[in-house]
Amino acid sequence: MKIALVAHDRKKDELVNFMIAYEIIFSKHQLYATGTSGKRIMEQTNLQIHRFQSGPLGGDQQIGAMVAENELDLIIFFRDPLTAQPHEPDIIALLRLCDVYGIPVATNVATAEILVKAMEKGDFAWREVVHKYKGE
Ligand SMILES: O=C(CO)COP(=O)(O)O
């Protein structure tokens, strides 16, 4: 599965700890992230991550472009609901595209845990069908 990882600044520690906790599971998948989130995770785990731009510089939009191609299978995006973001429109646009394409997206750690466990159980096998239908 192709998984995107994003966290706002005050949520980055939470994302890093989450990735450490589930590193073995995540190591079996292709990982993508916005710039700083990806850097932080790679510094504190052995995971290899393709990093896009930082969020305010277009990283959310780059992830959104993958969603628009139905390329991503899961997004973990720990948003900070208490801090205004200069690129709020990009964030809304990314979440909107997840709804357009029916991509599972977790915006907090409680949901992320449920989705990662579901993924490990094979509950996202339907994504293979999507890729097959696309001819991948
Ligand atoms: O701002 C972000 C998502 O909206 C995250 O970007 P960084 O991972 O580069 O901090």
* pTM (predicted TM-score): 0.96
Give me the CATH topology for the region 2-133: Rossmann fold (3.40.50)
Place of tokens 């710039």: 35
Ligand 1 contact, 34 CB (< 6 A) = yes
Q: Is 60 a catalytic residue?
A: yes
What residue owns the CA closest to ligand 1's atom 5? Answer: 55
Alpha carbon distance 11, 79 (integer Å): 7
**Cβ pair 107, 76 in contact under 8 A:** no
Q: What are phi and psi of 4, to 5 degrees?
A: -105, 140
Instruction: For residue range 75-134, list pLDDT tens digits in order.
Output: 999 999 999 999 999 999 999 999 999 999 999 999 999 999 999 999 998 888 888 887
Q: Which of 5, 14, 15, 36 is the pocket-test mutation for ligand 1 (most atoms within 8 Å of CB)?
A: 36
Dist CA 124 CA 126 (whole Å): 5
Domain range annotation of the chain = 2-133
| Nearest Cα residue to atom 10 of ligand 1 | 36
Q: Is 12 in the pocket of ligand 1 (CB under 6 A)?
A: no
The predicted-structure confidence for 59-76, as pLDDT tens digits, reads as follows 999 999 999 999 999 999
User: 59 CA to middle of ligand 1, Å?
Assistant: 7
Write down the ipTM of this complex.
0.98
106: left (phi over 0), alpha (psi -120 to 50) or beta: beta
